[in-house]
Amino acid sequence: MKLFKEKYGIKYPHAVTCLVKDTEVLLAFYDFPAEQWDHLRTSNPIESVFATVRYLIVRMTGALSQKKAKIMVFMVIRAASKHGAN
């Protein structure tokens, strides 16, 4: 973090101040064993929606056309964002 502060502190003082202030929270992810990192969930609503999309797309079978794939991704994002908003 010291190297980060030295390298970017002059150009991005507000961002560096925020990150340095919240270093403990920012790096809390690494307190968990590496084997568990794939299973940790985020509280970021945008990232949570895309996690749902990635989960469903990986498990899809069959070839889709590019147009059908875009429609499917849009519908999954829409459904996931509605589910997350409740």
What's the confidence (pLDDT) of residue 43?
A: 64
pTM for the model: 0.41
- Residue 28: its pLDDT value, please? 84
Sequence-distant (≥ 6) Cβ neighbours of residue 49 within 8 angstroms: 77, 80, 81, 84
What are the boundaries of each domain within the chain? 1-40, 42-86
Q: pLDDT tens for residues 25-76?
A: 888 888 888 887 777 766 666 666 676 667 776 666 665 677 877 887 788 7
